[in-house]
Amino acid sequence: MHSKIFESYQSNDRSSLIPLLQDVQNIYGYLPENALRDISDFVKVPLSRVYGVATFYNQFRLTPLGKNIIRVCRGTACHVKNSANILFALETELGITAGQTTRDKNFTLEVVNCIGACSIAPVILVNDDYHGRITVKDIPKILKKYQTVNKTETAEATK
C-alpha cells in the first residue's frame, strides 16, 4: 500500500527520510514495522537510525490509532485556563491516560502544545473539530457525540 509513495522520492537521499515517514503515517495513522523496514531500504539508512528518528519526533506513532482522536491542548494559555483539569476529566471518563487508546478502539487521547486557538482556551480538538472554552462539565456531552458517529461525519462544534 505504501510502495506508491516512494515514486515521488529519490532513493538514497537521506533528507527525504522525515517526509517519507510523514507520508506513511498519513496512510496508516501510525508507522507499521514493515513500512519502517521498506523506508530504511529505500533511503539506505540503517533501520536503527530510522527508528531513532521515528522515536525522536513527537509526531510519529508506532502503534495504531483509535477511530476518534482527541487532542487536548496543553499550551501555556490553555494551562493558565485549567487545561490540566480537562485532561484529568477526559482521562477518568475514558479510563485511559494521555497517549493511549481505549479498548474499543473508539478514542485515542493525545496531548499537544498550542494549536493556535489560544483566544478560546481551553481547547480540545476532536478529529478536526475545535471545542473551545470548555469546562469539565461539557466533556460527557462532547464524548457522546463521537461515541457512535463515524470519523467522517463531523459533529457540531460547540462555541
- Write out the binding residues for ligand FES, residues 9-68 only, by CB under 6 A: none
DSSP string, the chain: --GGGGGGS-TT-GGGHHHHHHHHHHHHSS--HHHHHHHHHHHT--HHHHHHHHHHSTT--SS---SEEEEEE-SHHHHHTTHHHHHHHHHHHHT--TT-B-TTS-EEEEEES--S-GGG-S-EEETTEEE-S--GGGHHHHHHHHHHS-SSSPPPPP-
Q: What minimum distance in Å lies between the beta carbon of 34 and other proteins?
A: 20
Confirm or reject binding of residue 10 to other proteins (CB under 8 A). no
Q: Which does 106 bind (CB under 5 to 8 A by kind): ligand FES, other proteins, none?
A: none
Q: Tell me the one-letter amino acid at 140.
A: P
- Write out the binding residues for other proteins, residues 30-49 only, by CB under 8 A: 43, 45
Q: Which does 47 bind (CB under 5 to 8 A by kind): ligand FES, other proteins, none?
A: none
Q: What minimum distance in Å lies between the beta carbon of 24 and other proteins?
A: 12
Confirm or reject binding of residue 115 to ligand FES (CB under 6 A). yes
Q: What minimum distance in Å lies between the beta carbon of 97 and other proteins?
A: 13
Q: Closest CB to ligand FES among 71 and 145? A: 71
Q: Residues interacting with ligand FES, by CB under 6 A? A: 73, 75-78, 114-118, 121, 123
